[in-house]
């Protein structure tokens, strides 16, 4: 009789442990879906140049390479331009330590905005937008990168770390852009 009571107690303890364990697993599996399905990383800087000059540099594949922050950290980065020299359809393929993909100009508003689609294959297709605003002393350049994760739980978790990974690159790129457009004394 005592053994039966002990067995029943063990069965109850096991059932409770399994129930709590299952609930925790379900909670962990569902938690990423509470995270944002998209992430926008944005940096802004004022560049001492007219918007038309900044625009011409950013919309051109060759011009983009003059301030591309990935060139600073990857001496082996390979860039292969394609399409027209500038404007919609211009772009480049890249292959380096941090990945492989393409970047293509998909929309332009002269002297105001350039939109790039970055195709990273299975890692997604972030959209990069440069918005130019005339200000005293030059042009405010807003560089935004928007990534959509949809229902991908790994992407949503990855999104939590994107600002720390991409933000410094954008800052470096904006510094490079400013240095490229600043006349040398």
CA 68 to chain centre: 14
Q: What is the full per-residue pLDDT of the chain (185 aa) written as tens digits?
A: 555 655 565 566 666 776 666 656 655 565 555 666 778 999 999 999 999 999 999 999 999 999 999 999 999 999 999 999 999 999 999 999 988 999 999 999 999 999 999 999 888 899 999 999 999 999 999 999 998 888 778 777 777 778 888 899 999 999 999 999 987 65
The CA radius of gyration of the chain, in Å to the nearest whole number, is 25
Q: Are 114 and 58 in contact (CB under 8 A)?
A: yes
Within the chain, residue ranges assigned H as helices are 2-30, 51-59, 61-65, 70-73, 153-159, 162-181
Question: Which residue, 183, 72, 170, is CA-closest to 130?
Answer: 170
- CA–CA–CA angle 59, 60, 62 (5° rounding): 145
What is the reported pTM? 0.81
SS3 (DSSP) at 152: coil
Strand order in the sheet with 127-135: 38-47, 138-148, 127-135, 113-119, 99-109, 91-96, 78-82
Q: Are 147 and 124 in contact (CB under 8 A)?
A: yes
Q: What is the pLDDT of residue 154?
A: 78
Q: What is the pLDDT of residue 81?
A: 97
Question: Which residue, 163, 167, 179, is CA-closest to 36?
Answer: 163
């Amino acid at each position: 009789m005592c053994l039966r009571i002990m067995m029943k107690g063990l069965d109850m303890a096991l059932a409770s442990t399994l129930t709590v364990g299952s609930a925790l697993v379900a909670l962990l599996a569902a938690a990423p879906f509470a995270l944002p399905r998209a992430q926008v990383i944005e940096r802004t800087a004022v560049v001492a140049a007219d918007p038309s000059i900044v625009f011409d540099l950013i919309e051109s594949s060759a011009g983009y390479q003059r301030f591309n922050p990935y060139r600073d950290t990857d001496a082996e980065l390979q860039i292969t331009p394609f399409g027209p020299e500038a404007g919609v359809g211009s772009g480049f393929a890249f292959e380096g330590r941090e990945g492989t993909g393409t970047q293509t100009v998909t929309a332009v508003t002269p002297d105001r905005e350039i939109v790039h689609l970055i195709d990273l294959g299975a890692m997604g297709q972030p959209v990069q937008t440069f918005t130019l605003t005339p200000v005293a002393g030059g042009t405010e350049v807003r560089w935004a990168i928007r990534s959509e994760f949809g229902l991908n739980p790994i992407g949503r978790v990855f999104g939590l770390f994107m600002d720390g990974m991409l933000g410094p690159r954008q800052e470096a790129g904006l510094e490079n852009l400013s240095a490229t457009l600043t006349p040398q004394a």
